[in-house]
Amino acid sequence: MKRLPTRPPKRLPRFVAAALALGSAAALVTGCSDEGAPLTFDTPRATATADKPERPPKQTKRASGPETLLPTGPAASFTTANTLEDGTKIGVTTLAGAKSGFTGKVWVWAPKQYFDPKYADSGFPVLIALPGGKGYPTNYWMGTDLKLQSSISRWSEEGRSLPFIVVMPVLNPDDKYYYDGSDIPGQPRIGTWLTEDVPDFVRANFRTFTSRDGWAFMGSSSGGFVGLKSVLQHPDKFKAVIASGPDTVPDSPLWAGHEAERQANNPEKLAKALGAKPDTKANATYLAFQIGTKESGMARLKAFMKNYTKGPVKTRLQVIQGGGHNAKTYMQGMEEGSIAWISQHMQGPVPAP
């Protein structure tokens, strides 16, 4: 399936319509009076190690809790991109990927629980949110119009979601091609950027968990494919994904002449290999699919689930009545059950006794 946004009914210029169909045209979203102002996510506990990268990462563990990894540093320089109604802020920085060699923007939001003193010694789960379309030069989840962050805040208060740190990197290195979230030979190493550099950046700046139980992806359309592929390719690093309206095979034209490498990044091949492993807690991987009844691809997703829901590969399908191929639909699906399902299988923050 072509992973491009479907055009909305409004008579808009094509480039604006394409961005709005799957999400917000992030460049058009301002949303806060202090946009561009310096921003820090430091808390008193986090500051103890964030500015001292020469020290080895410090881990803490309570008798009944998970291992927390305190920020390893070096601390990034953030500016404010948006401010939510509860006062929490979405920050943005430019990340030079040490492993991939790619440099791109990353937006980050931390929930208000992150700043609560009772969680000062606890890690937080991370949700890497990927947009549809080309996902460059912005990630539309950084806007406040789709209400991803404010919804997570509300859902966490209602007990339906963990209070995730939401990380929103650019999806591709340009707006010309899809790179399938992969290290395509001869191209920027986007697979390494998304699965190694971005998580390393998060660990450098935030309290996280050492276990994969604290790491997940979500994504729409092309971003859904990349999230699905990344979790299946690295089940030792990531435990879950919400994949909305995704393809299930890599189809970037840049794979031409590199069939072996393409197959190594094929979710169908990866799911089959993972499904053959022992069904243990360490291997269990949770794939939450979402699709609207007005978009194509339903049969494809059901076939994928039928063929590969085996052993440690656990799947769930959220069918969104009346929904189309767009981010608003997928937010509805998360509300109706997808976010609760992955949250049930992941690690949440542990308050002080």
Distance CA 202, CA 258 (A): 32
Residue 99 carries which side chain, given as an amino acid letter?
A: K
β-pairing, 89-96 vs 103-109, is antiparallel
- The predicted-structure confidence for 230-243, as pLDDT tens digits, reads as follows 999 999 999 999 99
User: What is the pTM for the complete model shown?
Assistant: 0.88
Predicted pLDDT at 194 = 98
Predicted pLDDT at 82 = 97
Distance CA 334, CA 155 (A): 10
- pLDDT exceeding 90 applies to what percent of the chain? 82
Mean pLDDT of 181-209: 98
Predicted pLDDT at 52 = 47
Question: Two tokens at 220?
Answer: 């729409």
Question: Two tokens at 200?
Answer: 């390393």
Contact 47, 58 (CB under 8 A): no
Predicted pLDDT at 240 = 98
Residue 231 carries which side chain, given as an amino acid letter?
A: V
Higher pLDDT, 323 or 22: 323
Mean pLDDT of 6-35: 40
Q: pLDDT band for position 353 (50/70/90)?
A: confident
- The predicted-structure confidence for 122-178, as pLDDT tens digits, reads as follows 999 999 999 999 999 999 999 999 999 999 999 999 999 999 999 999 999 999 999
Q: Determine if the peptide bond prior to 253 is cis (ω within 30°).
A: no
Distance CA 132, CA 221 (A): 5
Predicted pLDDT at 34 = 86
Instruction: Identify the CA nearest to 258 among candidates 267, 250, 270.
Output: 250
- What's the alpha-carbon Rg for the chain, to the nearest Å? 19
User: CA angle at residue 130 from 1 to 228, to 5 degrees?
Assistant: 60
- Mapped onto helix, strand or coil, the DSSP state of residue 68 is strand
Give the DSSP H or E segment for 50. helix 44-50
β-pairing, 165-169 vs 103-109, is antiparallel
Contact 72, 205 (CB under 8 A): no
Contact 212, 236 (CB under 8 A): yes
For the chain, the residue count is: 353
Instruction: Identify the CA nearest to 184 among candidates 117, 92, 255.
Output: 255
Residue 106 carries which side chain, given as an amino acid letter?
A: V
Phi, psi of 79 (to 5 degrees): -125, 160
Distance CA 335, CA 93 (A): 29
- The predicted-structure confidence for 258-313, as pLDDT tens digits, reads as follows 999 999 999 999 999 999 999 999 999 999 999 999 999 999 999 999 999 999 99
Instruction: Identify the CA nearest to 42 among candidates 89, 9, 6, 5.
Output: 89
Those residues whose C-beta lies under 8 Å from the C-beta of residue 254, and which sit 6 or more positions away, are 177, 178, 179, 184, 187
β-pairing, 89-96 vs 78-83, is antiparallel
Q: pLDDT band for position 12 (50/70/90)?
A: very low
